[in-house]
Amino acid sequence: MSDATRRNRLEVSPKGDREILATRVFDAPRDLVFETMMDPEMIPEYWSDTKVDVMDVRPGGSWRYLSVGPDGTEHGFRGTYREISPPERVVQTFEWEGMPGHVSVETMVLEDLGDGRTKVEVTTIFHTGEERDGMLGSGMEGGMGELYDRLEDLLASRAS
């Protein structure tokens, strides 16, 4: 689906002193959204040029993705799952390996809207307001929006 015809848009906004709230509605049932987001075989389908190194989806389990930039440079992202409550909630840490020690905590809540659509809200808490503002200024909204657009397309193909 083209961006011009896409009805669901990512909304990103600062929240409090150290948080970012990202919200997106998907035209897919909650179980399918959760299953797709937690399946290591599906991650490369919507995380562009990314491979899953580790994805142990359980409380205490870890995850690590390697994304290849346009110049061929690998960027690692990793974290630990703190809570998994299928199909409604995931709490995990997030760290870009390019800035070790800057670990944020992400809480994703999937709300069944009752009409075959799912609202996903991700609240990310940073150590400082400066870290949060740095993330907002990094282009993360555009990257996350593109990732969620690809996820929407993947969900549509999996549902049919």
Q: Is residue 3 part of a domain?
A: no
CA-nearest of 84, 67, 74 to 147 is: 67
Q: Is residue 50 part of a domain?
A: yes
Q: Is residue 4 part of a domain?
A: no
Q: Is residue 130 part of a domain?
A: yes
For position 17, which CATH number holds?
3.30.530.20
For the whole prediction, is pTM greater than 0.85?
yes
User: The sheet that has 50-55: what strands, in order across it?
Assistant: 11-15, 19-26, 118-125, 104-112, 89-96, 74-85, 62-68, 50-55
Range of the domain at 96: 11-159
Q: Is residue 34 part of a domain?
A: yes
Number of domains in the chain: 1
Q: Is residue 5 part of a domain?
A: no
- Residue range 117-158, pLDDT digits in tens: 999 999 999 999 999 998 998 888 998 999 999 999 999 999
Q: Is residue 2 part of a domain?
A: no
- Residue range 96-106, pLDDT digits in tens: 898 888 999 99
